Amino acid sequence: MSDPTHGTTTTAPAARPASDPPGAARHEMEIRPFSVEQMQGRVARFGELRCPPDRYPDSHLPGHQRRNYLVVGKGLQVKGAKDPLSAIPVSEGFHLAYAAMRPGNGPMLHNHDTNETFVAIKGTWRVIWGADGAHSVDLRPLDVCSVPPFVPRTFVCTSAAEGEEEGLIMAIIAGDAPRSEFM
């Protein structure tokens, strides 16, 4: 079918075989039962997240001070890193983390073997990339920047949200055991 408002073509759903009883659902993907109790183990409340004070080796250096909250995943593989204290420690192909910091702070220039996507949540941010950190783009709340694998990067809080002392950014990193290396 043609959709004149979007210029796209869609396909009508396939007809149900005569052998399927009326009302029977057909799905190509497996459907698993999941209890309320199981789902509660996969809920992370921001106010209850824990962050190790020395998660990364640079976390206490001037200009790099920050709090890292690993929400989903088991953590980046970084030389000298501590337990990330993940809220939802699963291996399902990605990691989701928050970082909170005062303006002027951010991690040292580093590299990943996977994509890293940033979403500014509170405050404004500068994502910097390249082996010498020569390129940058500024992000406002809800702006997104996706840095490809093997492109050195860092991010810096440029201003906190109004009335707050820190900015907050989300990072989504692909893979079950992504590696990172400081430059």
pTM score? 0.82
Cα 138–chain centre separation: 18
**What pLDDT score was predicted for residue 102?**
97
**What pLDDT score was predicted for residue 15?**
52
**What pLDDT score was predicted for residue 140?**
98
Helices (H), the chain: 36-40
* CB-based contact 68:97 (threshold 8 Å): yes
Please tell me the distance from the alpha carbon of residue 5 to that of residue 175, in angstroms, as a whole number.
37
Query: Pick from 112, 111, 123: which is nearest to 156 by CA?
Result: 123
**What pLDDT score was predicted for residue 1?**
46
Helix (H, G, I), strand (E, B) or coil at 39: helix
Please tell me the distance from the alpha carbon of residue 157 to that of residue 10, in angstroms, as a whole number.
43
Cα 6–chain centre separation: 30
* CB-based contact 157:105 (threshold 8 Å): yes
**What pLDDT score was predicted for residue 59?**
85
DSSP 83-98: P---SB---SSEEEEE
Binned average pLDDT, 10 residues per bin, the chain of 183 residues: 45 53 77 95 96 84 92 87 87 96 96 97 98 97 98 98 97 93 91
